[in-house]
Amino acid sequence: MRRLFWLTVGAGLGGWAVHKTHEKINEARQALTPESIAGRVADRARGFADDVREGAAEREAELNRRLGREPEPIALPEQQPQPRPGFGSGRPMDEDGASPLRRLARGRRSTNQHRKDDH
């Protein structure tokens, strides 16, 4: 009876360990996709750019104080909305939201294409 108990405990712990290992592998796999890596790099680059802008503004204010000049107001560019994942191809879209390449792949022509017999 004791052997059956320990066999069951060992099998249960083994199954739990396999399950946890698969969870960790899947988390690592998702964290290492190109989209995930690109998103993290973009976030860090945005943060770095913000820090540089802030530091430049502080330094400019310091230099203006030393020179006794009035600081000129700086108009920062507005934040552009970030494209949704998978929609950042940068290609122009037609009226119905399909890219010209996708429209051609489906066999339909975009509105700016002409037939040879139309001329």
User: Is 23 or 1 the better-scoring residue by pLDDT?
Assistant: 23
Considering the domain architecture, whether residues 51 and 28 belong to the same structural domain is answered as no
Full domain range(s) for residue 57: 34-69
Same domain as 44, residue 24: no
Residue 79 lies in a domain: no
Residue 5 maps to a domain: yes
pLDDT score for 32: 86
* Mean local confidence (pLDDT), 61-65: 90
Q: For residues 91 and 98, is the Cβ–Cβ distance under 8 A?
A: no
At 69 the pLDDT is 85
Return mean pLDDT, the chain.
Answer: 77
Residue-level pLDDT at 110: 47
Q: What is residue 1's predicted lDDT score, i.e. its pLDDT?
A: 86
Helix and strand numbers (H, E) in the chain are 3, 0
- Does residue 110 fall inside a structural domain? no
pLDDT in tens, 79-116: 665 555 555 555 555 556 555 556 566 665 545 555 55
In-domain check, residue 7: yes
44 shares a domain with 54: yes
For the chain, the domain total comes to 2
Residue 49 lies in a domain: yes
